[in-house]
Amino acid sequence: MRPDRHRDERGTATAFVVGMSITLVVVAGLVVDGGGALNAKMTLADDVEAAAVAGAQATDELRLRDEGVLVINRAEAHERALALLAGRGYERIDIDVTDETVTVTAHDTVPTVMLNLINIDEFDIEATAVAEAEVLP
């Protein structure tokens, strides 16, 4: 004779529903907050590129006319790039200006909406752009 073994399956459906609910919240958080972070990164990249171009347009016109050499005015280029990004609310900005190029890097944080339920409060984003001074024909 076999002993009668009954499994106690009470609560398994509850555990399954709780597990699936947590998974769905995490996936929804990744979609919502991840999409928001991607959108913010693309906006940051556009702003950084605009700042680099604005800086590269600060050329030393007198030197170009007198010597025929195209050189970026470093102080003015730095000021233009910084003003553009600061005007758009960015605070962590790195600007490197040489005689020929302007490199701009900006950092920002994007707060989360749903992922803060699992202690992910923000995403750090960064973008870099390089613009080169040139004379158009």
- pLDDT tens sequence across 73-128: 999 999 999 999 999 999 999 999 998 999 999 999 999 888 888 888 999 999 99
Torsion of CA 42, 45, 51, 52, to 10 degrees: -150
Work out the burial of residue 89: count CB atoms within 10 Å of its CB; fewer than 13 is exposed, 13-18 middle, 19 or more buried. exposed
Q: How many angstroms separate the CA atoms of 110 and 100, rounded?
A: 33
pLDDT at 61: 80
pTM beyond cutoff 0.75: yes
Q: How many angstroms separate the CA atoms of 77 and 83, rounded?
A: 10
Look at residue 17 and tell me whether its pLDDT is greater than 60: yes
φ, ψ of residue 15 to 5 degrees: the values are -65, -40
Q: How many angstroms separate the CA atoms of 15 and 115, rounded?
A: 22
pLDDT at 90: 92
